[in-house]
């Protein structure tokens, strides 16, 4: 047993972090929300160059055929920097749905995908930007056309109704594709939560009220201590879920659901606490906090609600002890 | 990154599992906070020791089997999953013994550890005093130099196991002019020595899990000083985060409780009550998270890391998890939730209530996490 990231995985996370710290991801996110995807697509291609879009793509389609643990390492960084775009659909879900030359385009960073996977993923993300638009119906794949736009609480998530089109063929493994989407979403939540914590800690060290830094007050310290506790205990669930996806473990559904619930709750607590610590400045559109706060709320509902994942956990564990 | 056990660890786990399956008492032993229960638990410790399972992580010469940290965690998981008795020797095994391994003399280890491992000598902790709870540095009991040793005077309180235990360990102020952390000495003493009076204090469950200890010129030989005189604070603190101690509370306890909770939910739960079933799921997820976090800690320690303020994160998490597990069970039981003899959940809940208080309150842990892990400035308390 060795339950820790490898040196290579830590380096991978650091290289993604370095890349994203050098570009203005907040500006790209705001452009994306405003319907101007240019800077977001530049960012996309840059990240594809580091290998993120090809992680789960098999080597015969020029992908990396990497470990799902690498995937969660990457998605945690994407969540941390609030990178816009259909990352879950393209990099995590699509490679589990089809085996096709399309994946070579994904790996190269040229093809963006938008995937609907009803009932839990009924709306299509960024379907106006993605050229591969695929809906799962039972065991079959359909192309779809984007219908009415549905504004999300996270303005960077451009959602659309799905109008089913021509049948494309059989889906490879829809349950695995769903679980990969849940896993990547959980990792993004964890990253967003970590950013919210880091920002609140930095702010609490600087902001002075009543003649001292607010981080000196126990009331503030205790809020932040609870956030770090939740995040630290959610992270191993995300890593274990990635292992279960990699190994095709019989506990896969249970493990990804547990990860999504815990990461969602930790990130949401981080969002609420982050806003509380920042006060009014955090409630402004100029501040980056809002980008994560809205994203966390959106991702808590996306890829299966808390109630749905609770049910999956209970079904699995009560089956196990029956 | 993987969660697979190597052959050695898997074999060890299987051996423990099969021994426990054959030896765990059919009926739970009476509480070790009663005279009868204490005697039965002492006998259980001896039986564990005969099988080489009372202190698996210790060196063989003291009754252990040199188990790795991972194997210790596996042992604990199996132990609680099997419904085996609580450890009446835990204060000695998990708090005093690690300190002896770090700071004790060879003579002390030889003399103290083997009877501890066999349950022949059960140790109580004597940290707290009436004026000093989490603020141990405020303690006032004294150790005064005398020929060949020290004379202890003062009062200790909320001392777990002291009502029936044989010996105790704690910190004493040995330099009369000293303040706070300075001038303290770590001493071990016999609870039946002349000058010691023990007054049991019933806990919430009505049993004397605590006691006050009154000390009036109790002689302790130099051989029972742990570490250097005056250096007691450092001696106590270097093992406060000890990996085999309470800070790494074994995940097996919570996994076992989560499994029992899931069984209870299946038997009596209403699936339409999503609020309650959500709490059952959350409790299970919490127990699993704690298990995995422990595996992460084991890996880090094995690769040369050390436990620092993370142990406060650990304690904050498990103390609330333990409460949530028990509160959820009591709510699932409905009107039977108040019944004590019908199921173990009430006693478990009473025990869990203490979690956010002992070993440093939640508030102390949160300060530690905020200041030492997040780097926030120290402030007024």
CATH number of B123-233: 2.40.110.10
Q: How many angstroms separate the CA atoms of A304 and A309, rounded?
A: 6
Q: Tell me, what's the pLDDT at B249?
A: 75
Report the pLDDT averaged over residues B179-188: 90
Q: What are phi and psi of B87, to 5 degrees?
A: -95, 110
Confidence class of residue B165 from pLDDT cuts 50, 70 and 90?
A: very high
Confidence class of residue B244 from pLDDT cuts 50, 70 and 90?
A: very low
Q: Which residues contact B339 (CB under 8 A, 6 or more apart)?
A: B333, B346
Sort out which chain B residues have CB atoms less than 8 A from A313's CB and list them: 281, 284-285
Q: What are phi and psi of B144, to 5 degrees?
A: -110, 135
pLDDT above 90 coverage of chain B, percent: 81
Report the pLDDT averaged over residues B307-326: 93
Measured in Å, how far apart are chain B's first and last C-alpha atoms? 41
Which of B289, B300, B328, B373 to mutate against chain A (most A CBs within 10 Å)? Answer: B289
Q: How many angstroms separate the CA atoms of A87 and A81, rounded?
A: 13
pLDDT averaged per 10 residues, chain A (length 322): 97 98 96 97 98 98 97 98 98 97 97 97 97 96 96 97 94 97 98 98 96 95 98 98 98 98 98 97 92 97 97 89 48
Select from A186, A53, A111, A133 the least CA-distant residue to A124: A133
- Chain B nearest CA to A56, separation (Å): 17
Note whether B123-233 and B249-374 share their fold: no
The H or E element spanning position B288 is helix B274-302
Q: How many angstroms separate the CA atoms of A144 and A163, rounded?
A: 5
Task: Encode A216-244 in three state secondary structure.
Answer: HCHHHHHHHHHHHHHHHHHHHHHHHHHHH
Asked if B324 and B279 count as a contact pair (C-beta separation under 8 A), the reply is yes
Asked if residue A106 belongs to a domain, the reply is no
Q: Tell me, what's the pLDDT at B10?
A: 97
Q: Which ipTM score applies to this complex?
A: 0.96
Q: Which two tokens stand for residue A258?
A: 């547990």
Q: Tell me, what's the pLDDT at B241?
A: 61
- Residue B240 reports pLDDT greater than 70: no
* Tally of structural domains, chain A: 1
Interface of B with A in 264-293 (CB under 8 A): 265-266, 274, 277-278, 280-282, 284-286, 288-290, 292-293
- Residue B112 reports pLDDT greater than 60: yes
- Residue B137 reports pLDDT greater than 90: no
B243 is an active site residue: yes
Confidence class of residue B4 from pLDDT cuts 50, 70 and 90?
A: very high
Sort out which chain A residues have CB atoms less than 8 A from B262's CB and list them: 314, 317-318, 321
Instruction: Tell me the per-residue pLDDT of B317-366, one tens digit each, with 9 for 90 and over.
Output: 999 999 999 999 999 999 999 998 889 999 999 999 999 998 889 999 99
Sort out which chain A residues have CB atoms less than 8 A from B266's CB and list them: 318, 321-322
Q: Tell me, what's the pLDDT at B133?
A: 74
Q: How many angstroms separate the CA atoms of B109 and B93, rounded?
A: 12
CATH assignment at residue A275:
1.20.140.10
Confidence class of residue B238 from pLDDT cuts 50, 70 and 90?
A: confident
Q: Which residues contact B294 (CB under 8 A, 6 or more apart)?
A: B73, B248, B250, B251
Asked if residue A182 belongs to a domain, the reply is yes
Residue span of the structural domain in which A181 resides: 175-318
Residue listed under structure tokens 């005189």: B229
Contact B262 A314 (CB under 8 A): yes
Q: Which residues contact B130 (CB under 8 A, 6 or more apart)?
A: B155, B157
Higher pLDDT, A258 or B131: A258
Q: How far is CA A200 from CA A26, A218, B119, in A?
A: 17, 14, 50
Sort out which chain B residues have CB atoms less than 8 A from A224's CB and list them: 370, 374, 376
Q: Which residues contact B27 (CB under 8 A, 6 or more apart)?
A: none
CA A65 to chain centre: 20
Which of the four CATH numbers 3.30.300.20, 1.20.140.10, 2.40.37.10, 1.10.167.10 does domain B249-374 have?
A: 1.20.140.10
Q: Which two tokens stand for residue A92?
A: 């995590």
Q: Tell me, what's the pLDDT at A321?
A: 52
- Which residue among B78, B129, B207, B243 is the active-site one? B243
* B277 → closest Cβ in A212, A242, A310: A310
Q: Kindly list the domain boundaries of chain B, sorted by start residue.
A: 7-87, 123-233, 249-374
Q: Tell me, what's the pLDDT at B245?
A: 47
SS3 content of chain A, % helix, strand, coil (to 5): 60, 15, 25
* A317 → closest Cβ in B284, B292, B377: B284
Instruction: Say how many C-beta atoms besides its own lie within 10 A of residue B273's C-beta.
Output: 14
Confidence class of residue B247 from pLDDT cuts 50, 70 and 90?
A: low
């Amino acid at each position: 047993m060795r339950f820790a990231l490898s040196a290579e995985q830590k380096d991978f996370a650091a290289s993604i972090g370095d890349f994203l710290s050098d570009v203005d991801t907040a500006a790209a996110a705001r452009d994306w929300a405003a319907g101007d995807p240019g800077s977001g697509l530049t960012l996309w291609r840059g990240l594809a160059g580091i290998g993120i879009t090809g992680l789960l793509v098999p080597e015969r389609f020029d992908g990396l055929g990497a470990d799902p643990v690498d995937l969660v390492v990457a998605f945690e960084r994407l969540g941390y920097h609030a990178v816009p775009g259909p990352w879950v659909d393209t990099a995590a879900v699509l490679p589990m749905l089809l085996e096709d030359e399309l994946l070579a385009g994904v790996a190269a960073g040229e093809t963006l995908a938008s995937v609907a996977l009803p009932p839990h993923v009924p709306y299509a993300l960024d379907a106006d930007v993605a050229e591969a638009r695929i809906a799962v119906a039972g065991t079959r794949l359909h192309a779809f056309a984007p219908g009415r736009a549905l504004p999300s609480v996270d303005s960077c998530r451009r959602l659309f109704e799905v109008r089913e089109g021509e049948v494309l063929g059989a889906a490879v493994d829809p349950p695995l594709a769903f679980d990969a989407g849940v896993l990547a979403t959980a990792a993004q939540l964890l990253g967003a939560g970590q950013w919210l914590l880091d920002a609140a800690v930095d702010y609490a060290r600087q902001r002075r009220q009543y003649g001292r830094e607010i981080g000196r007050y126990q009331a503030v310290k205790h809020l932040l201590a609870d956030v770090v506790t939740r995040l630290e205990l959610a992270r191993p669930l995300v890593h274990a879920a990635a292992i279960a996806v990699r190994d095709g473990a019989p506990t896969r559904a249970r493990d990804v659901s547990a990860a999504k619930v815990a990461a969602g709750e930790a990130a949401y607590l981080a969002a609420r606490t982050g806003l509380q610590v920042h006060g009014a400045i955090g409630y402004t559109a100029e501040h980056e906090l809002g980008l994560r706060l809205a994203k966390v709320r959106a991702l808590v509902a996306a890829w299966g609600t808390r109630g749905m994942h609770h049910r999956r956990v209970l079904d699995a564990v009560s089956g196990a002890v029956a | 990154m993987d969660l697979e056990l190597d052959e050695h660890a898997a074999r060890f786990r299987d051996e423990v599992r099969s021994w426990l399956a054959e030896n765990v008492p059919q009926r739970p032993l009476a509480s070790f906070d009663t005279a009868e229960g204490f005697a039965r638990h002492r006998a259980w410790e001896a039986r564990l020791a005969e099988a080489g399972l009372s202190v698996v992580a210790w060196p063989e010469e003291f009754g252990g089997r040199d188990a790795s940290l991972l194997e210790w965690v596996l042992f604990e998981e199996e132990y609680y999953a099997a419904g085996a008795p609580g450890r009446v020797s835990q204060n000695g095994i998990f708090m005093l013994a690690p300190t002896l391994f770090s700071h004790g003399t060879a003579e002390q280890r030889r003399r103290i550890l083997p009877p501890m491992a066999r349950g022949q000598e059960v140790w109580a902790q004597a940290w707290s005093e009436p004026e000093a709870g989490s603020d141990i540095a405020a303690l006032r009991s004294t150790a005064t130099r005398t020929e060949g040793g020290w004379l202890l005077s003062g009062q200790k309180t909320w001392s777990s196991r002291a009502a029936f235990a044989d010996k105790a360990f704690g910190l004493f102020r040995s330099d009369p002019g000293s303040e706070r952390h300075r001038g303290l000495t770590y001493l071990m003493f016999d609870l039946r020595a002349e000058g010691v009076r023990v007054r049991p204090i019933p806990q919430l469950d009505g049993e004397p899990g605590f006691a006050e200890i009154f000390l009036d010129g109790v002689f302790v030989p130099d051989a029972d000083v742990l570490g250097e005189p005056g250096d007691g604070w450092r001696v106590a603190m270097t093992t406060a985060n000890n990996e085999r101690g309470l800070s790494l509370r074994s995940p097996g306890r919570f996994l076992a409780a989560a499994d029992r909770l899931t069984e209870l939910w299946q038997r009596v739960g209403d699936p339409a009550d999503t609020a309650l079933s959500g709490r059952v799921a959350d409790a299970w997820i919490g127990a699993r998270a704690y298990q995995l976090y422990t595996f992460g800690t084991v890996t880090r320690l094995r690769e040369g890391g050390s436990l620092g303020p993370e142990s406060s994160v650990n304690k904050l998490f498990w103390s609330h998890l333990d409460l949530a597990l028990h509160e959820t069970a009591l709510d699932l039981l409905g009107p039977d939730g108040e019944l004590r003899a019908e199921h173990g959940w009430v006693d478990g809940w009473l025990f869990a209530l203490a979690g956010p208080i002992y070993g440093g309150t939640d508030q102390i842990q949160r300060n530690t996490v905020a200041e030492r892990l997040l780097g926030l400035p120290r402030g007024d308390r």
